[in-house]
């Protein structure tokens, strides 16, 4: 779905934790805390609590997104994952103050939701109407409050880590140094969760909670490391233009060849996902593997490249003077592997994510990244 122009994506992994939460609520939490209801009621309470909790997570991410948009940062999508949500932006904040406002908005929204559900529970309590709805409200109140508190832990990838980085960034004027410190804190906390999960698994024989802590710890460790690497990548690309890293010797195809010839002579041989298409000396579009897959194999010998290509006016293009970091951000946000570099209608080259990462690797190996 879309919320305010922002695409909301539910990752397949999200369903795993959703059904796990429903099961835990219906078979564990509610029967222990509310002993006067039937099994079907517990399952209804568990399902409602799970749905409202994940709506709460979505609101948490929407809060981040709305503040980011207000600060001039374009949000491309919100993805709901097994460990929560992730708002994907087309660019990073330019100042510590901007990051502080964006990072704080999520926990603030969760705390507000916690107070909202706590108010609902208080109403039921004061009117002596302790219904299943009251139990769900109590559960959601503390779930959102705990979510806000946990997100304030000062380590990546949590919001608290971004708030701490914003503070250090603003104080030191050095984003890379601030990112390194917060990434180290996040990695240390992730290691603590992994060790604690292992001990819980071995000593208390609480298999589910132990494994959960281990998975969360591994996820945090990877995210903390990835956040620092992303900043180092951006620093390595400062001042680098697209023309410096683009590939100029291109494999091009004629728009009149058949799809069979395209597959046999180009896709199998060169193994690129897309190719520039020419009509004599004119760049007219791009043809991709995805386009080939839309045509039945029986028709490959009869259809031509021009039948499945994307016309040049619809192809996302780069200019040779564009910053390499901006090019990478566009490719990531638009999920594009390779982009043509065009100037005055003339194709100069192609830039791929692999080109940019190879450039970064060379700088890293030389010790200048």
Instruction: For 4-52, write each residue's pLDDT tens digit.
Output: 778 888 888 788 888 888 888 888 888 888 878 888 888 999 999 999 9
User: What pLDDT is attached to residue 78?
Assistant: 84
Express each pLDDT in 113-172 by its tens digit. Answer: 999 999 999 999 888 887 888 889 999 999 999 999 988 988 877 899 999 999 999 989
Cβ 315 vs Cβ 285: under 8 Å: yes
State yes or no: cis peptide before 157, omega within 30 of 0. Answer: yes
Separation between Cα atoms, residue 178 and residue 203, nearest integer Å: 37
Express each pLDDT in 329-354 by its tens digit. Answer: 888 877 788 899 999 889 999 999 88
Q: Where in the chain are the domains? A: 2-152, 170-236, 242-365
| 361 has a pLDDT exceeding 90 | no
Rounded (10°) CA dihedral 55, 60, 62, 63: 140
Express each pLDDT in 117-131 by its tens digit. Answer: 999 999 998 888 878
User: What pLDDT is attached to residue 329?
Assistant: 81
pTM for this predicted structure: 0.73
- Tell me what the mean pLDDT of segment 176-194 comes to: 89
* CB within 8 Å of 352: residues ≥ 6 apart: 247, 331, 337, 338, 339
Separation between Cα atoms, residue 323 and residue 328, nearest integer Å: 9
Residue 202 Cα distances to 1, 31, 198, 232, angstroms: 43, 27, 6, 38
Q: Which of 77, 99, 13, 85 is nearest to 332 (CA)?
A: 77
Q: What share of the chain is helix, strand, coil (3-state, %, to 5)?
A: 65, 15, 20
Separation between Cα atoms, residue 154 and residue 316, nearest integer Å: 38
Cβ 264 vs Cβ 255: under 8 Å: no
pLDDT band at 318 (very low <50, low <70, confident <90, very high): very high
- Residue of higher predicted confidence among 89 and 275: 275
| 89 has a pLDDT exceeding 70 | yes
- The correct CATH number of 242-365 out of 2.60.40.1180, 3.30.70.1230, 1.10.10.10, 3.10.580.10 is 3.10.580.10
């Amino acid at each position: 779905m879309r919320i305010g122009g922002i695409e909301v994506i539910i990752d397949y992994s999200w369903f795993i934790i959703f059904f796990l939460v429903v099961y835990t609520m219906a078979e564990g939490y509610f029967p222990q805390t509310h002993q006067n209801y039937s099994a079907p009621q517990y399952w209804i309470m568990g399902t409602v609590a799970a749905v409202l909790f994940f709506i709460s997570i979505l609101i948490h991410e929407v809060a981040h997104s709305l503040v980011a948009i207000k600060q001039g940062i374009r949000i491309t999508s919100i993805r709901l994952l097994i460990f929560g949500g992730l708002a994907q932006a087309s660019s990073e904040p330019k100042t510590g103050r901007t990051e502080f406002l964006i990072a704080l908005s999520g926990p603030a929204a969760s705390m507000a939701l916690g107070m909202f559900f706590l108010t609902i529970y208080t109403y039921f309590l004061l009117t002596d109407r302790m219904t299943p709805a009251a139990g769900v409200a109590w559960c959601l109140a503390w779930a959102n409050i705990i979510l806000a508190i946990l997100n304030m832990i000062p380590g990546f990838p949590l919001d608290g880590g971004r708030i701490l980085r914003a503070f250090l960034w603003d104080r030191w004027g050095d984003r890379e140094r601030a990112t390194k410190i917060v990434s180290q804190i996040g990695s240390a906390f992730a290691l603590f969760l992994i060790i604690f999960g292992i001990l819980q698994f071995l000593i208390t024989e609480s298999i589910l909670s132990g494994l959960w802590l281990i998975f969360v710890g591994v996820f945090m460790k990877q995210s903390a490391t990835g956040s620092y690497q992303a900043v180092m990548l951006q620093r390595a690309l400062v001042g680098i233009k697209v023309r410096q890293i683009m590939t100029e010797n291109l494999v091009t195809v004629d728009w009149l060849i058949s799809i069979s010839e395209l597959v046999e002579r180009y896709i199998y041989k060169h193994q690129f996902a897309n190719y520039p298409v020419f009509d004599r000396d004119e760049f007219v579009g791009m043809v991709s593997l995805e386009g080939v897959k839309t045509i039945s194999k029986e028709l490959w010998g009869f259809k031509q490249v021009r039948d499945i290509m994307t016309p040049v006016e619809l192809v996302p293009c780069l200019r040779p003077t564009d910053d390499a970091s901006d090019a990478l951000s566009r490719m990531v946000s638009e999920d594009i592997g390779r982009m043509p570099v065009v100037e005055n209608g003339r194709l100069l080259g192609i830039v791929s994510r692999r080109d940019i990462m190879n450039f970064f690797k060379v700088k890293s190996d030389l010790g200048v990244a």
